[in-house]
């Protein structure tokens, strides 16, 4: 399979590196020093106690390339549209575009570039960290969960699974991938959002009654939206899971908190913002989530 991975961060490198073992892989990134290093030295991934060198074709520009079978998006969600716009040559009538990015609602942007039946969405249980130029640590392995918004009439997902599994991944195909995405989203739109606004460690949420009250309100609204979408959502079970996550990671730092702390734009529009957009479609009021989105964006501009 011809695959383009856009974004050579930790996760893009892990997927791009491993998939290059048995596929023709293009690893695309705007960071010239990273691309040049991978071209010369290869992509080094630390896994199972040792460094392994992979050699995907790294590049900053895809101009002149023929369309590929699959584009995998691994940039921060706020750069998704720009990343796809800048690499349109990769996308032809038969190209599938896949996202394993955090949050929900990515299909709204992907749908600007391919038809609904060529969009693959999902989640990954892998994790990793950047150690240096072209040097990644694969911290943990898990399932790659995928699904489609409509019926997979052309049988693409089994082909994707075959291409991925032979390269060290474990792909699980889900008939209702939105259920899985929202199960993961509940924690991000409550616990993560509140730690970002308060600039506190994850453990603070469960230990402070006011922070926990805010979190519970966000969970309640998100559950109402999920149910209106036809998804399963047990408010008490979700709250118990979020509380346990807080208690088990007392010093944990969420991505929204880190982005606001370090003066970066966050992915709030595909986290809390995805609840707001979904709520508008199903007619459920979510004033707390609307407040969170506005608050996070206000904090992003504080140090500008």
Tens-digit pLDDT string for the chain (304 aa) = 999 999 999 999 999 999 999 999 999 999 999 999 999 999 999 998 899 999 999 999 999 999 999 999 999 988 999 999 999 999 999 999 999 998 888 999 999 999 999 999 999 988 889 999 999 999 877 899 999 999 999 999 999 999 999 999 999 999 999 999 999 999 999 999 999 999 999 999 999 999 999 999 999 999 999 999 999 999 999 999 999 999 999 999 999 999 999 999 999 999 999 999 999 999 999 999 999 999 999 999 887 6
Which residues are CB-neighbours of 46 under 8 A, at least 6 positions away?
A: 52, 131, 135, 136, 137, 138
Burial tier of 158 (Cβ tally within 10 Å: 0-12, 13-18, 19+): exposed
pLDDT tens-place string over residues 78-123:
899 999 999 999 999 999 999 999 888 899 999 999 999 999 999 9
Domain that holds residue 68: 2-174
Which pLDDT score, from 0 to 100, does residue 168 have?
A: 92
The CATH number covering residue 247 comes to 1.10.1040.10
| 157 and 213 assigned to the same domain | no
| 131 and 207 assigned to the same domain | no
| 47 and 140 assigned to the same domain | yes
| 163 and 35 assigned to the same domain | yes
Supply the pTM of this predicted model: 0.87
Q: Do residues 126 and 33 make contact, with C-beta atoms less than 8 angstroms apart?
A: no
| 203 and 289 assigned to the same domain | yes
Considering its fold, how many domains does the chain have in total?
2
| 253 and 214 assigned to the same domain | yes
Q: Do residues 95 and 248 make contact, with C-beta atoms less than 8 angstroms apart?
A: no
Q: What is the distance in angstroms between the CA of the first residue and the CA of the last residue of the chain? A: 44
The CATH number covering residue 73 comes to 3.40.50.720
| 113 and 166 assigned to the same domain | yes
């Amino acid at each position: 399979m011809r695959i383009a991975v856009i974004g050579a961060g930790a996760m893009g490198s892990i997927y791009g590196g491993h998939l290059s073992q048995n596929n023709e892989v293009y690893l695309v990134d705007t960071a010239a020093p990273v691309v040049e290093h991978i071209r010369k030295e290869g992509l080094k991934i630390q896994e199972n106690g040792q460094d392994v060198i992979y050699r995907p074709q790294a590049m900053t520009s895809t101009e002149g390339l023929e369309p590929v079978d699959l584009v995998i998006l691994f940039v921060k969600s706020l750069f998704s549209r720009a990343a796809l716009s800048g690499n349109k040559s990769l996308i032809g009538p038969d190209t599938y575009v896949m996202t394993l990015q955090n949050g929900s609602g990515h299909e709204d942007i992907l749908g600007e570039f391919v038809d609904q039946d060529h969009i693959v969405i999902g989640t990954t249980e892998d994790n990793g960290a950047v150690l240096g130029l072209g040097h990644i640590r694969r911290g943990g392995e898990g399932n790659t969960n995928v699904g489609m918004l409509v019926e997979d009439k052309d049988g693409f997902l089994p082909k994707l699974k075959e291409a991925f599994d032979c390269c060290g991944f474990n792909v699980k195909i889900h008939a209702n991938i939105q259920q899985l995405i929202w199960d993961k989203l509940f924690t991000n739109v409550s616990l993560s959002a509140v730690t970002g606004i308060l600039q506190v460690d994850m453990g603070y949420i469960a230990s402070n009654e006011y922070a926990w009250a805010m979190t519970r309100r966000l969970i309640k609204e998100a559950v109402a939206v999920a149910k209106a979408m036809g998804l399963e959502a047990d408010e008490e079970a979700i709250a118990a899971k979020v509380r346990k996550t807080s208690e088990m990671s007392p010093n944990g730092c969420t991505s929204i908190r880190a982005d606001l702390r370090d003066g970066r734009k966050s992915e709030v529009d595909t986290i809390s913002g995805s609840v707001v957009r979904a709520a508008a479609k199903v007619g459920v009021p979510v004033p707390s989530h609307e407040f969170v989105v506005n608050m996070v964006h206000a904090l992003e501009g504080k140090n500008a």
